[in-house]
Amino acid sequence: MKLLISLVLSAFLSLPALAQEAAPTEEKLTPLDAAQVNLDDFLWKKRPIVIFSDSESDPRFRDQIRFLEERPEELIKRDVVIIIDSDPSARSQARQKLRPRGFMLAVIDKDGGVVQRKPFPWNVRELSRMIDSLPLRQLEIRDQLAPSN
């Protein structure tokens, strides 16, 4: 009888854990502060998009952040991480490596190569198309489309 009760209890207690595992995890695209990150930490894992500005008040900076917030799911699907640097005096590793002047948007591929630099904001549609044209992204797309064995 004790065995039966313990089996029933363990089955009921494990149901919430199973439900949590089955529930889809909703990722968020939270911008990271460039002063707190090292670009090398993202090698072969993520595609950093680095947004530079001399001030958060720069209209181009605000427009870029707004563009990225409109369709974050498209960027998450492409393994993008957003890094912002609006404080030139902090001399972040990203700022020292990429040497922006005023506003700049830089897209870095998973291999660490800078694939695009723009002096003006880009919307998610433009960014997605550019990322999808990258050779590493093309390999990812082919791998996703390949039938599982």
Partners of 118 in beta bridges = 105
Condensed to tens digits (0 to 9), the pLDDT of residues 57-115 reads 999 999 999 999 999 999 999 999 999 999 999 999 999 999 999 999 999 999 999 99
Asked whether the predicted pLDDT for residue 18 surpasses 50, the reply is no
Query: Where is 18: in which H helix or E strand?
Result: helix 2-22
Q: pTM of the prediction?
A: 0.79
Which residues neighbour 127 within 8 Å (Cβ) at sequence distance 6 or greater? 49, 75, 80, 107
Q: Give 146's pLDDT tier (boundaries 50, 70, 90).
A: confident
Spatial separation of the C-alpha atoms in residues 133 and 2, rounded to whole Å: 62
Residue 49: closest CA among 24, 31, 37, 61: 31
Structural domain spans, the chain: 32-145
CATH number of 32-145: 3.40.30.10
